[in-house]
Amino acid sequence: MQNSWGFYGRNADLAEIDRILGSGRWFFCAISGRRRIGKTTLIRQALKRRPGTPYFYVQIPDSDERGVIQAVRDAMEDQGFRGDVYDEIRTFADIVAQIELACRFGWIVIIDEFQYVHRQALSSFASLLQAEVDKLRDHGKGGLFVLGSIHTELTAVLEDRSSPLFNRVTHRLHLDHWDFETLFEMFARHGISDPRHWLFLWGLFEGVPKFYRDVFERGLLEGGGDFAKIRRDTLRGLFFEGTSPLRDEATNWFLRELRGRYDSILQILARAVTCSHRELKSEYDRAGSGGDKQLGGYLAALIDRYGIVEKSHPVFATAKGRKARYAIADNFLSAWLKAIGRNVSAARVQPLERPIARADEALMSLEGFAFEKMIRQLLEETSRKGKGDFPLTDLVRGYWNRPDGSDIEIDVVALNEDDRIVRFGSCKRSADQFTGESLAAFQDHIERFLNTKDGRQLAGWRVEQALYCPAFGSDDRRRLHRDGRVVHDLNDFKRYLYPD
Protein backbone atom coordinates (compact mmCIF):
# COMPACT_ATOMS: atom_id res chain seq x y z
CA MET A 1 0.00 0.00 0.00
CA GLN A 2 1.34 3.41 -1.00
CA ASN A 3 2.17 5.74 1.92
CA SER A 4 2.58 8.93 -0.10
CA TRP A 5 0.46 10.84 -2.56
CA GLY A 6 1.50 10.44 -6.18
CA PHE A 7 0.76 11.96 -9.55
CA TYR A 8 -1.86 9.76 -11.20
CA GLY A 9 -2.99 9.55 -14.80
CA ARG A 10 -3.01 12.58 -17.11
CA ASN A 11 -0.47 10.93 -19.41
CA ALA A 12 -1.86 12.45 -22.62
CA ASP A 13 -2.20 15.91 -21.04
CA LEU A 14 1.28 15.71 -19.55
CA ALA A 15 2.73 14.69 -22.91
CA GLU A 16 1.06 17.70 -24.55
CA ILE A 17 2.48 20.10 -21.93
CA ASP A 18 5.90 18.48 -22.39
CA ARG A 19 5.63 19.02 -26.12
CA ILE A 20 4.71 22.70 -25.67
CA LEU A 21 7.55 23.32 -23.21
CA GLY A 22 10.02 21.52 -25.46
CA SER A 23 9.04 23.24 -28.69
CA GLY A 24 11.68 25.96 -28.34
CA ARG A 25 9.09 28.60 -29.30
CA TRP A 26 7.21 31.11 -27.21
CA PHE A 27 3.66 29.96 -26.46
CA PHE A 28 0.38 31.21 -25.07
CA CYS A 29 -1.51 28.18 -23.76
CA ALA A 30 -5.02 28.25 -22.25
CA ILE A 31 -6.01 25.42 -19.90
CA SER A 32 -9.60 25.11 -18.68
CA GLY A 33 -11.27 22.77 -16.21
CA ARG A 34 -13.41 22.83 -13.07
CA ARG A 35 -11.89 23.92 -9.78
CA ARG A 36 -9.62 21.39 -8.06
CA ILE A 37 -9.23 19.35 -11.26
CA GLY A 38 -5.43 19.64 -11.25
CA LYS A 39 -4.55 22.33 -13.80
CA THR A 40 -1.71 23.85 -11.78
CA THR A 41 -0.49 20.44 -10.60
CA LEU A 42 -0.24 19.28 -14.21
CA ILE A 43 1.97 22.21 -15.18
CA ARG A 44 4.15 21.84 -12.12
CA GLN A 45 4.55 18.13 -12.80
CA ALA A 46 5.66 18.94 -16.34
CA LEU A 47 8.10 21.57 -15.06
CA LYS A 48 9.61 19.00 -12.67
CA ARG A 49 10.76 17.14 -15.77
CA ARG A 50 12.73 20.24 -16.76
CA PRO A 51 14.81 21.11 -13.69
CA GLY A 52 16.01 24.66 -13.60
CA THR A 53 13.23 26.09 -15.76
CA PRO A 54 12.24 29.33 -14.01
CA TYR A 55 8.53 30.03 -13.59
CA PHE A 56 6.22 32.47 -11.86
CA TYR A 57 2.73 31.58 -10.64
CA VAL A 58 -0.04 33.97 -9.60
CA GLN A 59 -3.74 33.49 -8.93
CA ILE A 60 -5.99 36.36 -10.02
CA PRO A 61 -8.63 37.28 -7.42
CA ASP A 62 -12.22 38.17 -8.30
CA SER A 63 -11.48 41.79 -7.43
CA ASP A 64 -10.55 45.14 -8.93
CA GLU A 65 -7.19 46.45 -10.20
CA ARG A 66 -5.96 47.09 -6.67
CA GLY A 67 -6.72 43.51 -5.62
CA VAL A 68 -4.93 42.03 -8.63
CA ILE A 69 -1.87 44.22 -8.11
CA GLN A 70 -1.64 43.15 -4.47
CA ALA A 71 -2.01 39.47 -5.47
CA VAL A 72 0.87 39.83 -7.95
CA ARG A 73 3.08 41.63 -5.41
CA ASP A 74 2.36 38.97 -2.79
CA ALA A 75 3.14 36.18 -5.25
CA MET A 76 6.43 37.81 -6.23
CA GLU A 77 7.41 38.22 -2.59
CA ASP A 78 6.46 34.60 -1.78
CA GLN A 79 8.49 33.33 -4.74
CA GLY A 80 11.68 35.16 -3.77
CA PHE A 81 11.67 38.27 -5.95
CA ARG A 82 13.57 41.29 -4.64
CA GLY A 83 11.55 43.95 -2.87
CA ASP A 84 12.64 46.68 -5.26
CA VAL A 85 11.13 44.67 -8.12
CA TYR A 86 7.66 44.00 -6.72
CA ASP A 87 7.47 47.40 -5.04
CA GLU A 88 7.38 48.89 -8.55
CA ILE A 89 4.19 46.96 -9.45
CA ARG A 90 1.51 49.64 -9.16
CA THR A 91 -0.64 49.30 -12.30
CA PHE A 92 -1.80 46.70 -14.81
CA ALA A 93 0.77 48.13 -17.21
CA ASP A 94 3.52 47.31 -14.71
CA ILE A 95 2.29 43.71 -14.44
CA VAL A 96 2.23 43.04 -18.18
CA ALA A 97 5.63 44.69 -18.59
CA GLN A 98 7.03 42.22 -16.05
CA ILE A 99 5.35 39.32 -17.89
CA GLU A 100 6.95 40.42 -21.16
CA LEU A 101 10.36 40.80 -19.51
CA ALA A 102 10.14 37.41 -17.79
CA CYS A 103 9.28 35.66 -21.05
CA ARG A 104 12.18 37.29 -22.86
CA PHE A 105 14.49 35.75 -20.26
CA GLY A 106 12.93 32.32 -20.78
CA TRP A 107 10.54 32.26 -17.81
CA ILE A 108 7.22 30.41 -17.78
CA VAL A 109 4.42 32.64 -16.46
CA ILE A 110 1.32 30.93 -15.06
CA ILE A 111 -1.81 33.01 -14.43
CA ASP A 112 -4.59 31.14 -12.60
CA GLU A 113 -8.30 32.08 -12.54
CA PHE A 114 -7.76 34.02 -15.74
CA GLN A 115 -11.50 34.05 -16.46
CA TYR A 116 -11.85 36.98 -14.05
CA VAL A 117 -10.19 39.17 -16.67
CA HIS A 118 -13.59 38.98 -18.39
CA ARG A 119 -15.10 41.04 -15.56
CA GLN A 120 -15.58 44.72 -16.24
CA ALA A 121 -13.26 45.82 -13.44
CA LEU A 122 -10.33 43.97 -15.02
CA SER A 123 -11.11 44.40 -18.72
CA SER A 124 -8.23 46.81 -19.37
CA PHE A 125 -5.76 44.09 -18.38
CA ALA A 126 -6.61 42.10 -21.52
CA SER A 127 -5.87 45.07 -23.78
CA LEU A 128 -2.54 45.73 -22.14
CA LEU A 129 -1.61 42.05 -22.26
CA GLN A 130 -2.47 41.86 -25.95
CA ALA A 131 0.19 44.44 -26.78
CA GLU A 132 2.86 42.42 -24.95
CA VAL A 133 1.68 39.11 -26.42
CA ASP A 134 1.99 40.56 -29.91
CA LYS A 135 5.60 41.52 -29.15
CA LEU A 136 6.38 38.02 -27.92
CA ARG A 137 4.79 35.99 -30.72
CA ASP A 138 8.01 35.78 -32.69
CA HIS A 139 10.22 35.51 -29.59
CA GLY A 140 11.91 32.15 -29.03
CA LYS A 141 11.87 31.88 -25.24
CA GLY A 142 9.47 31.37 -22.37
CA GLY A 143 5.73 31.14 -22.47
CA LEU A 144 2.43 32.00 -20.85
CA PHE A 145 -0.11 29.58 -19.35
CA VAL A 146 -3.52 30.97 -18.45
CA LEU A 147 -5.80 28.74 -16.39
CA GLY A 148 -9.55 29.11 -16.00
CA SER A 149 -12.23 27.29 -14.04
CA ILE A 150 -15.28 28.87 -15.72
CA HIS A 151 -14.98 27.67 -19.28
CA THR A 152 -17.35 30.13 -20.95
CA GLU A 153 -15.74 33.19 -19.35
CA LEU A 154 -12.27 31.98 -20.25
CA THR A 155 -13.51 31.37 -23.79
CA ALA A 156 -14.98 34.89 -23.90
CA VAL A 157 -11.65 36.42 -22.88
CA LEU A 158 -9.68 34.50 -25.49
CA GLU A 159 -12.01 33.65 -28.36
CA ASP A 160 -14.68 36.33 -28.72
CA ARG A 161 -13.94 38.44 -31.78
CA SER A 162 -14.43 41.58 -29.71
CA SER A 163 -11.81 40.51 -27.15
CA PRO A 164 -8.32 42.06 -27.40
CA LEU A 165 -6.82 38.56 -27.01
CA PHE A 166 -8.83 37.03 -29.85
CA ASN A 167 -6.71 34.69 -31.99
CA ARG A 168 -3.63 35.07 -29.79
CA VAL A 169 -3.70 31.66 -28.05
CA THR A 170 -1.29 29.12 -29.55
CA HIS A 171 -2.48 26.01 -27.63
CA ARG A 172 -5.64 24.93 -25.77
CA LEU A 173 -6.25 22.10 -23.31
CA HIS A 174 -9.33 21.15 -21.32
CA LEU A 175 -8.82 19.00 -18.22
CA ASP A 176 -11.67 16.69 -17.31
CA HIS A 177 -12.08 14.41 -14.29
CA TRP A 178 -9.74 11.51 -13.76
CA ASP A 179 -10.96 8.62 -15.84
CA PHE A 180 -11.83 5.32 -14.18
CA GLU A 181 -8.58 3.69 -15.23
CA THR A 182 -6.74 6.32 -13.19
CA LEU A 183 -9.15 5.97 -10.28
CA PHE A 184 -8.71 2.20 -10.19
CA GLU A 185 -4.93 2.67 -10.22
CA MET A 186 -5.11 5.14 -7.32
CA PHE A 187 -7.48 2.88 -5.34
CA ALA A 188 -5.17 -0.10 -5.88
CA ARG A 189 -2.09 1.78 -4.72
CA HIS A 190 -3.86 2.83 -1.52
CA GLY A 191 -5.33 -0.58 -0.75
CA ILE A 192 -8.99 0.29 -1.39
CA SER A 193 -10.49 -2.89 -2.84
CA ASP A 194 -14.14 -2.76 -1.74
CA PRO A 195 -16.39 -1.67 -4.66
CA ARG A 196 -18.82 -0.13 -2.17
CA HIS A 197 -15.97 2.13 -1.07
CA TRP A 198 -15.27 3.07 -4.72
CA LEU A 199 -18.90 4.05 -5.20
CA PHE A 200 -19.01 6.00 -1.94
CA LEU A 201 -15.95 8.09 -2.85
CA TRP A 202 -16.91 8.51 -6.51
CA GLY A 203 -20.44 9.54 -5.50
CA LEU A 204 -18.86 12.35 -3.50
CA PHE A 205 -15.93 13.37 -5.66
CA GLU A 206 -16.17 11.79 -9.14
CA GLY A 207 -12.66 12.18 -10.57
CA VAL A 208 -11.52 15.42 -8.88
CA PRO A 209 -7.90 14.80 -7.79
CA LYS A 210 -7.72 17.45 -5.05
CA PHE A 211 -10.61 15.91 -3.12
CA TYR A 212 -8.97 12.48 -3.06
CA ARG A 213 -5.76 14.08 -1.89
CA ASP A 214 -7.71 15.69 0.94
CA VAL A 215 -8.98 12.22 1.91
CA PHE A 216 -5.40 10.93 1.85
CA GLU A 217 -4.00 13.79 3.90
CA ARG A 218 -6.61 13.19 6.61
CA GLY A 219 -5.39 9.59 6.83
CA LEU A 220 -8.68 8.26 5.48
CA LEU A 221 -7.65 6.87 2.09
CA GLU A 222 -7.27 3.26 3.10
CA GLY A 223 -9.37 0.15 2.83
CA GLY A 224 -10.32 -2.73 5.09
CA GLY A 225 -12.29 -2.78 8.30
CA ASP A 226 -15.92 -1.95 9.01
CA PHE A 227 -17.27 -0.19 5.92
CA ALA A 228 -20.04 1.62 7.81
CA LYS A 229 -17.38 3.07 10.12
CA ILE A 230 -15.20 4.02 7.14
CA ARG A 231 -18.08 6.03 5.65
CA ARG A 232 -18.78 7.96 8.81
CA ASP A 233 -15.12 8.52 9.67
CA THR A 234 -14.60 9.91 6.15
CA LEU A 235 -17.55 12.28 6.46
CA ARG A 236 -16.45 13.39 9.92
CA GLY A 237 -12.86 14.02 8.87
CA LEU A 238 -13.65 15.85 5.64
CA PHE A 239 -16.70 17.90 6.60
CA PHE A 240 -17.64 17.93 10.29
CA GLU A 241 -14.52 18.72 12.30
CA GLY A 242 -13.15 22.19 12.88
CA THR A 243 -10.13 21.56 10.65
CA SER A 244 -12.03 19.60 7.99
CA PRO A 245 -10.64 20.58 4.56
CA LEU A 246 -13.99 20.49 2.73
CA ARG A 247 -16.16 22.06 5.40
CA ASP A 248 -16.49 25.32 3.44
CA GLU A 249 -15.60 24.11 -0.07
CA ALA A 250 -19.07 24.42 -1.60
CA THR A 251 -19.70 27.85 -0.09
CA ASN A 252 -16.28 29.27 -0.92
CA TRP A 253 -16.05 28.03 -4.50
CA PHE A 254 -19.36 26.93 -6.01
CA LEU A 255 -21.99 29.00 -4.30
CA ARG A 256 -19.90 32.16 -3.89
CA GLU A 257 -19.08 32.05 -7.59
CA LEU A 258 -22.81 31.99 -8.34
CA ARG A 259 -23.35 34.92 -5.96
CA GLY A 260 -26.59 33.47 -4.62
CA ARG A 261 -28.65 34.11 -7.75
CA TYR A 262 -29.17 30.47 -8.62
CA ASP A 263 -29.54 29.04 -5.14
CA SER A 264 -33.27 28.30 -5.34
CA ILE A 265 -32.89 26.30 -8.59
CA LEU A 266 -29.99 24.28 -7.20
CA GLN A 267 -31.86 23.58 -3.97
CA ILE A 268 -34.87 22.31 -5.92
CA LEU A 269 -32.69 20.06 -8.08
CA ALA A 270 -30.79 18.78 -5.05
CA ARG A 271 -34.00 17.74 -3.29
CA ALA A 272 -35.46 16.09 -6.39
CA VAL A 273 -32.10 14.74 -7.68
CA THR A 274 -33.64 14.73 -11.18
CA CYS A 275 -36.80 16.44 -12.43
CA SER A 276 -38.65 17.67 -15.50
CA HIS A 277 -38.94 21.30 -16.56
CA ARG A 278 -42.57 21.26 -15.45
CA GLU A 279 -41.66 20.02 -11.98
CA LEU A 280 -38.82 22.48 -11.73
CA LYS A 281 -41.02 25.41 -12.77
CA SER A 282 -43.75 24.42 -10.32
CA GLU A 283 -41.30 24.37 -7.41
CA TYR A 284 -39.57 27.53 -8.61
CA ASP A 285 -42.88 29.43 -8.80
CA ARG A 286 -43.69 28.34 -5.26
CA ALA A 287 -40.44 29.89 -4.06
CA GLY A 288 -41.29 33.35 -5.47
CA SER A 289 -41.92 35.31 -8.64
CA GLY A 290 -39.79 35.49 -11.75
CA GLY A 291 -41.56 33.46 -14.39
CA ASP A 292 -40.39 31.38 -17.31
CA LYS A 293 -37.99 33.98 -18.66
CA GLN A 294 -35.99 34.28 -15.44
CA LEU A 295 -35.98 30.52 -14.87
CA GLY A 296 -34.89 29.91 -18.47
CA GLY A 297 -32.06 32.43 -18.18
CA TYR A 298 -30.79 30.99 -14.92
CA LEU A 299 -30.99 27.42 -16.25
CA ALA A 300 -29.08 28.36 -19.40
CA ALA A 301 -26.31 29.94 -17.33
CA LEU A 302 -26.07 26.94 -15.00
CA ILE A 303 -25.89 24.56 -17.95
CA ASP A 304 -23.81 26.46 -20.51
CA ARG A 305 -21.74 28.89 -18.46
CA TYR A 306 -20.97 27.02 -15.26
CA GLY A 307 -21.56 23.38 -16.29
CA ILE A 308 -23.20 22.75 -12.91
CA VAL A 309 -26.57 21.55 -14.23
CA GLU A 310 -27.05 18.98 -16.98
CA LYS A 311 -30.05 18.56 -19.26
CA SER A 312 -30.49 14.98 -20.41
CA HIS A 313 -32.78 13.37 -22.96
CA PRO A 314 -33.94 9.79 -23.39
CA VAL A 315 -32.41 7.70 -26.17
CA PHE A 316 -33.55 8.76 -29.68
CA ALA A 317 -35.00 12.07 -28.36
CA THR A 318 -34.09 15.35 -30.04
CA ALA A 319 -32.44 18.22 -28.19
CA LYS A 320 -35.74 20.13 -28.25
CA GLY A 321 -37.81 17.20 -26.98
CA ARG A 322 -40.12 17.75 -24.02
CA LYS A 323 -38.99 14.70 -22.08
CA ALA A 324 -35.82 16.37 -20.85
CA ARG A 325 -34.67 16.00 -17.28
CA TYR A 326 -32.52 18.34 -15.25
CA ALA A 327 -30.03 17.39 -12.55
CA ILE A 328 -26.98 18.83 -10.80
CA ALA A 329 -24.06 17.61 -12.88
CA ASP A 330 -21.37 17.83 -10.20
CA ASN A 331 -21.45 15.00 -7.66
CA PHE A 332 -19.77 17.05 -4.94
CA LEU A 333 -22.24 19.92 -5.16
CA SER A 334 -25.18 17.52 -5.34
CA ALA A 335 -23.97 15.68 -2.23
CA TRP A 336 -23.38 18.94 -0.38
CA LEU A 337 -26.82 20.38 -1.13
CA LYS A 338 -28.72 17.11 -0.71
CA ALA A 339 -27.01 15.57 2.28
CA ILE A 340 -24.02 17.30 3.81
CA GLY A 341 -24.46 21.08 4.04
CA ARG A 342 -27.55 21.18 6.23
CA ASN A 343 -26.06 18.58 8.57
CA VAL A 344 -22.78 20.47 8.88
CA SER A 345 -24.90 23.41 10.06
CA ALA A 346 -26.86 21.17 12.45
CA ALA A 347 -23.61 19.87 13.95
CA ARG A 348 -23.09 23.28 15.57
CA VAL A 349 -25.93 22.59 18.03
CA GLN A 350 -26.27 18.79 18.05
CA PRO A 351 -24.08 15.87 19.16
CA LEU A 352 -21.79 15.20 16.20
CA GLU A 353 -22.81 11.61 15.55
CA ARG A 354 -26.43 12.53 14.88
CA PRO A 355 -25.90 14.86 11.86
CA ILE A 356 -23.15 12.60 10.51
CA ALA A 357 -25.58 9.65 10.55
CA ARG A 358 -28.26 11.71 8.78
CA ALA A 359 -25.78 12.88 6.14
CA ASP A 360 -24.64 9.29 5.57
CA GLU A 361 -28.23 8.06 5.19
CA ALA A 362 -29.04 10.80 2.68
CA LEU A 363 -25.90 9.99 0.72
CA MET A 364 -26.92 6.35 0.47
CA SER A 365 -30.14 7.34 -1.30
CA LEU A 366 -28.18 9.65 -3.61
CA GLU A 367 -25.74 6.87 -4.48
CA GLY A 368 -28.41 5.02 -6.47
CA PHE A 369 -28.45 7.88 -8.99
CA ALA A 370 -24.66 8.23 -8.83
CA PHE A 371 -24.27 4.53 -9.61
CA GLU A 372 -26.38 4.81 -12.80
CA LYS A 373 -24.18 7.71 -13.91
CA MET A 374 -21.08 5.71 -13.02
CA ILE A 375 -22.15 2.70 -15.10
CA ARG A 376 -22.94 4.82 -18.15
CA GLN A 377 -19.51 6.45 -17.96
CA LEU A 378 -17.77 3.11 -17.41
CA LEU A 379 -19.46 1.65 -20.49
CA GLU A 380 -18.31 4.63 -22.54
CA GLU A 381 -14.72 4.51 -21.25
CA THR A 382 -14.28 0.76 -21.75
CA SER A 383 -15.69 1.04 -25.27
CA ARG A 384 -13.51 4.04 -26.13
CA LYS A 385 -10.40 2.21 -24.97
CA GLY A 386 -11.39 -1.08 -26.62
CA LYS A 387 -11.30 -2.88 -23.28
CA GLY A 388 -14.92 -3.76 -22.56
CA ASP A 389 -17.35 -6.38 -23.79
CA PHE A 390 -19.70 -3.99 -25.60
CA PRO A 391 -18.44 -1.66 -28.38
CA LEU A 392 -20.63 1.44 -28.53
CA THR A 393 -21.54 3.59 -31.50
CA ASP A 394 -23.15 6.36 -29.43
CA LEU A 395 -23.15 7.73 -25.90
CA VAL A 396 -25.03 5.68 -23.33
CA ARG A 397 -28.41 7.04 -22.31
CA GLY A 398 -31.46 5.94 -20.40
CA TYR A 399 -35.06 5.86 -21.57
CA TRP A 400 -38.27 7.29 -20.12
CA ASN A 401 -41.47 8.14 -21.92
CA ARG A 402 -42.61 10.55 -19.22
CA PRO A 403 -40.24 13.03 -17.62
CA ASP A 404 -41.21 11.86 -14.11
CA GLY A 405 -40.45 8.22 -14.94
CA SER A 406 -43.92 7.08 -13.87
CA ASP A 407 -44.51 4.79 -16.86
CA ILE A 408 -41.58 3.26 -18.79
CA GLU A 409 -38.14 3.71 -17.22
CA ILE A 410 -34.88 1.99 -18.24
CA ASP A 411 -31.60 2.95 -16.56
CA VAL A 412 -29.19 2.13 -19.40
CA VAL A 413 -29.65 1.88 -23.17
CA ALA A 414 -26.39 1.10 -25.00
CA LEU A 415 -26.32 0.85 -28.80
CA ASN A 416 -23.98 -1.01 -31.13
CA GLU A 417 -25.31 0.01 -34.52
CA ASP A 418 -22.53 -1.77 -36.41
CA ASP A 419 -23.61 -5.20 -35.15
CA ARG A 420 -27.25 -4.22 -34.49
CA ILE A 421 -27.15 -5.04 -30.78
CA VAL A 422 -28.91 -3.10 -28.03
CA ARG A 423 -28.09 -3.63 -24.36
CA PHE A 424 -30.65 -2.61 -21.77
CA GLY A 425 -29.30 -2.22 -18.24
CA SER A 426 -30.76 -2.14 -14.76
CA CYS A 427 -28.68 -0.67 -11.92
CA LYS A 428 -29.08 -1.54 -8.23
CA ARG A 429 -26.95 -0.72 -5.20
CA SER A 430 -27.00 -4.33 -4.00
CA ALA A 431 -27.51 -7.72 -5.65
CA ASP A 432 -30.42 -8.68 -3.40
CA GLN A 433 -32.49 -5.90 -4.98
CA PHE A 434 -32.63 -8.00 -8.17
CA THR A 435 -35.69 -9.91 -7.03
CA GLY A 436 -38.04 -11.90 -9.22
CA GLU A 437 -40.45 -8.99 -9.09
CA SER A 438 -37.85 -6.37 -10.10
CA LEU A 439 -36.56 -8.57 -12.95
CA ALA A 440 -40.09 -9.07 -14.25
CA ALA A 441 -40.69 -5.31 -14.13
CA PHE A 442 -37.40 -4.74 -16.00
CA GLN A 443 -38.46 -7.21 -18.70
CA ASP A 444 -41.86 -5.54 -18.95
CA HIS A 445 -40.36 -2.06 -19.39
CA ILE A 446 -38.07 -3.35 -22.16
CA GLU A 447 -40.94 -5.01 -24.03
CA ARG A 448 -43.12 -1.93 -23.74
CA PHE A 449 -40.28 0.30 -24.94
CA LEU A 450 -39.69 -1.92 -27.98
CA ASN A 451 -43.34 -1.39 -28.92
CA THR A 452 -43.06 2.41 -28.85
CA LYS A 453 -42.29 4.50 -31.91
CA ASP A 454 -38.71 4.91 -30.64
CA GLY A 455 -38.32 1.26 -29.78
CA ARG A 456 -39.51 0.06 -33.18
CA GLN A 457 -36.32 1.55 -34.63
CA LEU A 458 -34.59 -1.46 -33.06
CA ALA A 459 -36.72 -4.08 -34.82
CA GLY A 460 -34.51 -6.99 -35.87
CA TRP A 461 -31.72 -6.07 -33.44
CA ARG A 462 -30.34 -8.52 -30.90
CA VAL A 463 -31.53 -7.56 -27.43
CA GLU A 464 -29.34 -8.02 -24.34
CA GLN A 465 -30.31 -7.53 -20.72
CA ALA A 466 -27.59 -6.43 -18.31
CA LEU A 467 -27.68 -6.19 -14.53
CA TYR A 468 -25.26 -3.93 -12.68
CA CYS A 469 -24.43 -3.48 -9.00
CA PRO A 470 -21.23 -2.59 -7.10
CA ALA A 471 -20.41 -6.23 -6.29
CA PHE A 472 -22.03 -9.59 -7.06
CA GLY A 473 -21.32 -12.73 -5.07
CA SER A 474 -20.83 -16.02 -6.93
CA ASP A 475 -24.29 -17.28 -5.93
CA ASP A 476 -25.96 -14.12 -7.18
CA ARG A 477 -24.04 -14.35 -10.46
CA ARG A 478 -25.28 -17.89 -11.04
CA ARG A 479 -28.84 -16.94 -10.14
CA LEU A 480 -28.94 -13.86 -12.35
CA HIS A 481 -27.03 -15.26 -15.34
CA ARG A 482 -30.11 -17.29 -16.24
CA ASP A 483 -31.82 -16.52 -19.55
CA GLY A 484 -28.54 -15.16 -20.94
CA ARG A 485 -28.40 -11.96 -18.89
CA VAL A 486 -25.12 -10.05 -18.65
CA VAL A 487 -24.12 -9.63 -14.99
CA HIS A 488 -21.45 -7.00 -14.36
CA ASP A 489 -20.15 -5.30 -11.25
CA LEU A 490 -17.41 -2.76 -10.58
CA ASN A 491 -14.81 -5.51 -10.17
CA ASP A 492 -15.50 -6.53 -13.79
CA PHE A 493 -14.90 -2.98 -15.01
CA LYS A 494 -11.72 -2.77 -12.95
CA ARG A 495 -10.45 -5.94 -14.64
CA TYR A 496 -11.16 -4.37 -18.03
CA LEU A 497 -9.41 -1.08 -17.24
CA TYR A 498 -6.77 -1.81 -14.61
CA PRO A 499 -6.13 -5.57 -14.32
CA ASP A 500 -4.00 -6.77 -11.42
pLDDT in tens, 294-319: 888 889 989 988 888 999 999 999 87
CA distances from 98 to 81, 93, 394 (A): 12, 9, 49
Q: What is the mean pLDDT of the chain?
A: 92
Tell me the C-alpha distance between 448 and 451, whole Å.
5
Per-residue model confidence (pLDDT) at position 154: 87
Other CB atoms within 10 A of residue 270 CB: 20
Written out in words, the top-level CATH class of the domain with range 381-497 is: alpha beta
DSSP classification of residue 28: E
- Give the pLDDT confidence of 318-332 residue by residue, as tens digits: 878 788 999 999 999
pTM greater than 0.85 (yes/no): yes
pLDDT tens string 461-487: 999 999 999 999 999 999 998 878 999
Predicted confidence at residue 482, as pLDDT, reads 80
Contact criterion met (CB below 8 Å) for 24 and 167: no
Residues in the chain: 500
Query: Which residues on adjacent β-strands are paired with residue 397?
Result: 413
* Domain residue ranges in the chain: 11-174, 381-497
DSSP, residue by residue, 467-500 = EEES---HHHHHHHTGGG-EEEEHHHHHHHHS--
pLDDT > 70 fraction of the chain, expressed in percent and rounded: 97
The answer to whether 215 and 231 have CB atoms below 8 angstroms apart is no
The span from the CA of 422 to the CA of 82, in Å, is 66
**Best CA proximity match to 314, nearest among 428, 461, 438, 457:** 457
- Cβ-proximal residues to 111 (8 Å cutoff; 6+ apart), any chain: 58, 60, 144, 145, 146, 147
CATH of domain 11-174: 3.40.50.300
Helix spans in 310-407 (H):
331-335, 341-346, 353-384
